[in-house]
Chain A
Amino acid sequence: AQSVTQPDIHITVSEGASLELRCNYSYGATPYLFWYVQSPGQGLQLLLKYFSGDTLVQGIKGFEAEFKRSQSSFNLRKPSVHWSDAAEYFCAVGRLLNDYKLSFGAGTTVTVRA
């Protein structure tokens, strides 16, 4: 069975500071990993994905994530946060090429203070 843990329910960060969101996954085979962002009242937008190749993945809005197989982690980072980054972030895992059967973490809410 596949599962995802996002250890931080809520993170508060100052505008301009760096941000790191943690994601740990459990999966028996090659995982297919995603980060999504959800603004209030909106759907989910894909930030980035990983399934092979370079373990450092670049996404939209200045985000990047690093896949570490030895730690079963796929942490999301942004060097300098903008107020518009306040949202809820979800990590998800699926079987390779099966991105229609995703398991999501519970989400991390990011608050950005001026």
Chain B
Amino acid sequence: NAGVTQTPKFQVLKTGQSMTLQCAQDMNHEYMSWYRQDPGMGLRLIHYSVGAGITDQGEVPNGYNVSRSTTEDFPLRLLSAAPSQTSVYFCASSDPPGGAFFGQGTRLTVV
């Protein structure tokens, strides 16, 4: 059972480039979320989804888009990368009240 799988694990982008961070879960969870982790700030919610076709913004959504066409996948798109988006990104899936399960993270550097 793979759980939550994120790809890639590492990525370097140039300012202005776009990319998609992939997230897939095999637990048939309805709920999925994207967080970013920055030093001294814990994790902050970017976007979340409560089911296929339903997404909403979290605390720090600017510069990111999401879609949820299937239960399993929840990709995060950076439209035009900026140095401020240098961070570690975590995808999570959950099935309340079990708590959220996190992927291994994607470390993104924007130069």
Contact = CB atoms under 8 A, between A and B. Distances in A.
Given A43-B90, A44-B90, A104 B96 contact: no
Interface of B: 4, 31-33, 35, 40-45, 48-50, 58-59, 90, 92, 94, 96-105
Interface stretch (A14-22, A72-80, A92-100): A92-100
Interface of A: 4, 9, 32, 34, 36, 42-46, 49, 51, 90, 92, 96-107
Contacts of B33: 100-102
B contact patch SS? strand
11 contacts: A42-B105, A43-B90, A44-B43, A99-B96, A99-B98, A99-B100, A100-B96, A101-B48, A102-B100, A104-B42, A105-B42
Contacts, number: 69
A90 B43 contact: yes
A99 B43 contact: no
A49 B99 contact: yes
Nearest to A107: B42
Contacts of A102: 33, 43, 45, 100
B102 A99 contact: no
B97 A97 contact: yes
A67 B44 CA distance: 23
Given A42-B104, A99-B94, A100-B96, 4 more contacts: A97-B96, A99-B98, A101-B33, A107-B40
B43 A43 contact: no
